[in-house]
Homo-oligomer: A and B are copies of this chain.
Amino acid sequence: MQLSPSLTALIEALRCLPGIGPKSAQRIAFHLLERDRDGGTQLGGCLTKAMQVIGHCESCRTFSESAQCDICQSVKRQDSRLLCIVESPTDVLAIEQTGQYQGLYFVLMGHLSPIDGIGPKEIGLDLLEQKLSQGNIDEVILATNPTVEGEATAHFIGELCHKYQVEASRIAHGMPVGGELDLVDGMTLMHAFSGRRSLGS
């Protein structure tokens, strides 16, 4: 038995979602058709619109519908001389949720990965270099992920900062707050020890 062509096309298209295989795609398609047609129609419209209108901020490279994102346009921040470098827009979101950081961001949209053909240009380091050369930045905070690729990317950008005599710092690695010593991996524990801070006097 052949499913109707639109249904087959929908099931096929649903497989672009991360972690959705043929069986899940079929289940989702039937669920939407049986129980939530309004939701499905709305999702269709939102997807089409979002893919069209969402571009990248020309200043920090995060997702934005306008030429510059809200943070780069913010009057409170645009004179900030702090630049936080992260791998993805979700990282910006996570940092913003702490409410503690008031500087600007630069979003790499990935990390260096020569094996996948992702070099400095692909993660926008030419744009970053231009920013650094203008002398408007005092300190770069490297907040890439603590993975091998993230560390390599941080190291590479650190060198770039050195070239333009801009101070670069790496976010601290150590025990997560509320964590338990015996559940933490050795690498983290090692970082927690080597990065220990004096309690002062």
Contact = CB atoms under 8 A, between A and B. Distances in A.
A186 interface: no
A59 to B, nearest CB: 15
B1 A33 contact: no
A6 B53 contact: yes
Interface stretch (A40-48, A134-142, A155-163, A173-181): A40-48
A69 B71 CA distance: 53
A164 B145 CA distance: 70
Interface of A is mostly: helix
Interface in A21-57: 26-34, 36-37, 39-54
B10 A46 contact: yes
A189 interface: no
Interface of A: 1-7, 9-10, 12-14, 16-18, 26-34, 36-37, 39-54, 63-66, 69-71, 88-90, 92-93, 96, 109
